[in-house]
Structure 1
């Protein structure tokens, strides 16, 4: 499998660390709020960004819009991770630029499978 550069953004440090361990076959960095995520994204150039929607300060939807505007993450696959999963919640994530929306607690295998699909798409 292609090794992806993954940025995890979650204000819950334990959740971010758990995802980091789950995705350890990839190159993973974590941020705990939107401002840190934007700073890290400038140099990290993530292939995929998994972002909590309920972040303090810059919420996940606004963060997704800002990441889309940055050259280093304009083409990254954005994945919403939220405690809310109604059709409206999913539509808001999609409108913000997220390709996928997972509801917490995320099914680890579903997330791994999604990353495999993304990795397969990035193989020339």
Structure 2
């Protein structure tokens, strides 16, 4: 099993793991692409999954969205290295969910959640008065 040596970990700090090593993306400072690693690469993966879910189910609450992502995180079958060590553990020992984000399963799960009621917003009252132009 593989975790990056620089990965953050801990049941209080990490809800799910996401790909963040050698991600092909835009590179700052120019109109170019390249590989980069780190939380700056993993966070957009999670944000993209969240956006994808909300595209299909826009009435989910923030809590439901988080639930869909966390409940469907996929636990790897093999043990993983504790980042920065050679110690092997189950991913559940170093993260809240013990899993890696799974977009497909998260969208499927979101389809089972009740739609949150849409709050109606009252529009401000507008009065139009006739006036003589003169």
TM beyond 0.5: no
Which structure is larger by alpha-carbon Rg, 1 or 2? Answer: 2
Q: As a proportion of its length, which structure holds more strand?
A: 1
Q: Greater relative contact order (Cα 8 A, min sep 6): structure 1 or 2? A: 2
For normalisation by structure 2, the TM-score amounts to 0.27
Q: As a proportion of its length, which structure holds more helix?
A: 1
For normalisation by structure 1, the TM-score amounts to 0.29
